Amino acid sequence: MQSRLFDLKSTWHLPATTEQVWAIIADIDMSWPQWWPHCRFAAPITRRKTTSSSNEDILKATTAYLRFKAILGYSLTISIHPTDVVTPRKIDFDAGGDLQGSGRVTLIPEEQDQATRMDIEWRVRPTKRWMNLLTPIAGPAFTAAHALLMHQGERGLISALAKANRNSPVDPSTPL
């Protein structure tokens, strides 16, 4: 039995420049569990050797293993491996583990680049037997749980951006 393909899309509106957002979401140390509620590391980050020290190449050599806990009480462990990185605009990635497929995060400047729209796309299939069995009746609940988890991520990222802005040095040429 072929599992159902979930085509999940989210849009986050963030009060920061694309560069500020990029600095957090494309952190080579994968800081997501620090700001995303119900997201934890499931295993240590793995990283292949690279021939370059560019952040793009380091990201493409990295695989993060994250565990997300849904409001419905279940947890999913997902590996995320960037496959294409265009700083500071886009990350394509492969997903594995409990959800297999691909994803994309795209940053789009808004309000004269003082705000950012982040579009997130997931095209994944569950690999857990129980999820595949329940998908015909519970698919809408899984989709709603995903939407809530993404909303929590958006709120967490907004808080992380505010904290980063409070901790950044003040430019002396900027009038107060």
Per-residue pLDDT of the chain (176 residues; tens, 9 = 90+): 578 999 999 999 999 999 999 999 999 999 999 999 999 999 999 999 998 999 999 999 999 999 999 999 999 999 999 999 999 999 999 999 999 999 999 999 998 989 999 999 999 999 999 999 999 999 999 999 999 999 999 999 999 999 998 876 544 444 43
Report field, pTM of the whole predicted structure over 0.85: yes
Phi (first) and psi of residue 171, to 5 degrees: -75, 120
pLDDT of residue 19: 96
Residue 171 forms part of a structural domain: no
How far is residue 78 from each of residues 93, 123, 127, 166, 168, measured CA to CA in Å? 12, 13, 11, 32, 32
Q: Which amino acid is at 48?
A: R
How far is residue 35 from each of residues 40, 58, 139, 164, measured CA to CA in Å? 10, 22, 27, 11
Residue 80 forms part of a structural domain: yes
Give the Cα-Cα-Cα angle 60, 48, 7 (nearest 5 degrees).
Answer: 40
Residue 159 forms part of a structural domain: yes
Residue 89 forms part of a structural domain: yes
* Domain tally, the chain: 1
CATH number at residue 153: 3.30.530.20
Residue 137 is part of which domain span?
6-165
| HSE of 50, CA atoms in CB hemisphere, 13 A | 13
Residue 94 forms part of a structural domain: yes
Residue 172 forms part of a structural domain: no
Residue 170 forms part of a structural domain: no
Contact 15, 161 (CB under 8 A): yes
Alpha carbon distance 65, 80 (integer Å): 6
pLDDT of residue 173: 43
